[in-house]
Homo-oligomer: A and B are copies of this chain.
């Protein structure tokens, strides 16, 4: 592998001059430029980024930490992150944490050891204090989830009002007994969606009871299980269900259909996220659409601003969501 030295020797100039040519410095004469370029060509020289990065103390890499890339919601966000990263000469180090704190910490070493210039978290496993401390030292952005009172930038949607709007829509269709499929965790999104759900019921004068809420783990099968629980109380089955993930909504629909119910004829179901498969299901899913790609783009923009030093204090950004009405919801018939 030829180095800058080899090029210099071959072109009969100093390494400094070669470096100038590589970096398009204006103060290089036309003739030496050509000499150097020719040497570069002939040797098929490529600057070693390790040397350059060390010298410049920059890596142009960022960490993207998420539970798992094989979740279409996250992978679409990553797409947005990558787009903006690329436009700005940055590359992405993909970090599947499987929601394990040791794995997360392992990856964070890449930040502390200066191999990456910043990090974007989807759903961190480390706690608020640890994250806040990290954020004081390094450029950090949270995407979708965030922590209150934490010293960390984030970009997300208003989960409270999104849930409120979804449930309000169901209420507008005449539904009076509306179940929710939530998850057992302390994510801010989970908490706020539950609050939005409750508030919508309350504002409509509908009674809320804890057993209107079943919990899953965002996945298809857990949606089926939750739906089964609803069906268990024969005389008191909801006429509509609000699930906090599309996969759980699809699972619930599957279960209802298997039990001879029509969706939305007998029961309406609404999901959350608007993953690609939401509009492929039968019935196509009514859902709260999160601007996944845009969330990623904004997160990366925010991170860049921090890396560049344009932003000193944490900043929060809320993007618009959208209630997308498809086929899985309809008028209440009872």
A contact set with B: CB distance below 8 Å:
1, 46-51, 53-54, 57, 59, 61, 64, 68-72, 75-76, 78-79, 82-83, 86, 91-94, 96, 103, 106, 109-110, 112-115, 220, 247, 250-251, 253-254, 257, 276-277, 279-282
Contact = CB atoms under 8 A, between A and B. Distances in A.
B78 A69 contact: yes
A109 to B, nearest CB: 8
B280 A113 contact: no
A277 B71 CA distance: 11
A280 B282 contact: no
Copies in the complex: 2
B96 A82 contact: yes
11 contacts: A46-B112, A48-B113, A50-B54, A50-B59, A68-B79, A70-B276, A75-B75, A79-B96, A91-B110, A92-B94, A254-B282
A87 to B, nearest CB: 11
B70 A79 contact: yes
A279 to B, nearest CB: 8
Given A49-B115, A91-B110, A257-B282, A76 B82 contact: no
A57 B50 contact: yes
Contact of A114 (B1, B91, B276): B1
Given A94-B92, A113-B48, A75 B70 contact: yes
Contact of A53 (B50, B68, B78): B50
Nearest to A283: B282
B280 A254 contact: yes
B277 A114 contact: no
A105 to B, nearest CB: 13
A135 to B, nearest CB: 16
